[in-house]
Amino acid sequence: MSSRLGAFLGSSIGKKTLMSLTGLGLVVFLIAHLAGNLTLYADGTGETYAAYAQKLKDLGPGLWFMELGLAAMFVAHIALAFRTSMENREARKSRYRVRGTKGEANLPNSSMLITGTVVLVFLVIHLLDFRFSEGLAPPHADVLAPKVVDRLASFTGAAIYLIGGVAVLIHLGHAFRSALRTLGVHHPQYENLIKRTGTGLAVALGLGFVSFPVILFASPDNYGGRGAESAQVAPAEQEQAPASGSPTVPTAAPAREEG
């Protein structure tokens, strides 16, 4: 059985199958991640967000387990992406002088490696920004919201998160449908539905993530940013303190691993 699995994973179809499965897993994660992030909009203080972060932290070892699984999916997906892309380059060393298309090639399906690499670079920055901002342990839940708001209120922060969100949007524009086809799902009756679902997912997730740099850059004060802190949110911060007073608040970090 193991040699059979090895042969499968060594084949082109096996590699693409694993990429599809991990890719779909990452889409599920993105949905959860975005849902968590949206709690930031729930109030102007970041309290709901901190509570969500705290809940994640309270998962204890379960959180580590989830983070490891997530990391494994990322590593497998990215490693296979680079491997197969390199093989594809090897498969055609001499390029066409004129690059034509019969209408099927488009921005998302022709730029998966580029958008994927942008997302990867973004991911590293993003993890350092929040998940590993206090070392290996997840950051405190109560400081997370102001940290997020401050980061996205800065010009570079907003630019980085905007680029990251747009890259996710474009990447997902091809991802869903491609993954399903690689997994063998294709039916003339459902092709349109699958296409629309994929586009809808890409737009919903992409715009969802893009909304943070846009909204927080435009009005950080409304979401408990530093500006708000100094102005009127001081009390809100105190209110938060008890909720997050506990030692270390692991938290939102895991969930934001990659968005």
Partner 1 sequence: MIATNGKDTIGLTLNVWRQAGPDAEGAFETYHLNSVSTHMSFLEMLDVLNEQLLAEGREPVAFDHDCREGICGSCGVVLNGQAHGPDRDTTVCQLHMRRFHDGDTITIEPFRAEAFPVVKDLVVDRSAFDRIIGVGGFVSARTGAAPDANAIPVPKEEADLAMDAASCIGCGACVASCPNAAAMLFVSAKVSHLGRLPQGAPERDERVVAMVQAMDGEGFGNCTNVGECEAACPKGISVGNIARLNRDFVRATIRRR
* 87 in contact with partner 1 (CB under 8 A): yes
The backbone region for 224, taken as left when phi is positive above 0, alpha when psi lies in -120 to 50, beta otherwise, is left
Q: How far apart are CA 182 and CA 136, in angstroms?
A: 36
* 184 in contact with partner 1 (CB under 8 A): yes
Q: How far apart are CA 29 and CA 31, in angstroms?
A: 5
Piece of 45-53, 101-109, 150-158, 247-255 that binds partner 1 (CB under 8 A): 101-109
Min dist CB 206 to partner 1, Å, is: 20
> What residue has token string 């989830």?
66
Piece of 94-102, 154-162, 219-227, 244-252 that binds partner 1 (CB under 8 A): 94-102
Q: State which residue, 39 or 178, has the beta carbon closest to partner 1.
A: 178
Q: How far apart are CA 70 and CA 73, in angstroms?
A: 5
* 11 in contact with partner 1 (CB under 8 A): yes
- Residue from the set 174, 208, 233, 254 that interacts with partner 1 by CB under 8 A: 174
* 105 in contact with partner 1 (CB under 8 A): yes
Provide the H-helix boundaries in the chain: 2-10, 12-38, 47-58, 61-91, 107-110, 112-126, 141-153, 155-182, 191-218, 226-228, 234-244, 252-255
Q: State which residue, 141 or 168, has the beta carbon closest to partner 1.
A: 168
* 192 in contact with partner 1 (CB under 8 A): no
- Residue from the set 22, 37, 45, 182 that interacts with partner 1 by CB under 8 A: 182
Q: How far apart are CA 201 and CA 209, in angstroms?
A: 12
Which residue, among 12, 55, 28, has the nearest Cα to 144 in the 3D structure?
A: 55
Q: State which residue, 33 or 177, has the beta carbon closest to partner 1.
A: 177
- Residue from the set 98, 155, 238, 247 that interacts with partner 1 by CB under 8 A: 98
Which residue, among 211, 209, 210, 185, has the nearest Cα to 198 in the 3D structure?
A: 185
- Residue from the set 84, 117, 154, 199 that interacts with partner 1 by CB under 8 A: 84
Residues in binding contact with partner 1, number by CB under 8 A: 44
10, two tokens:
């060594």
> Residue numbers of the site for partner 1 (CB under 8 A)?
4-5, 7-8, 11-17, 84, 87-88, 90-105, 109-110, 112, 174, 177-178, 181-188
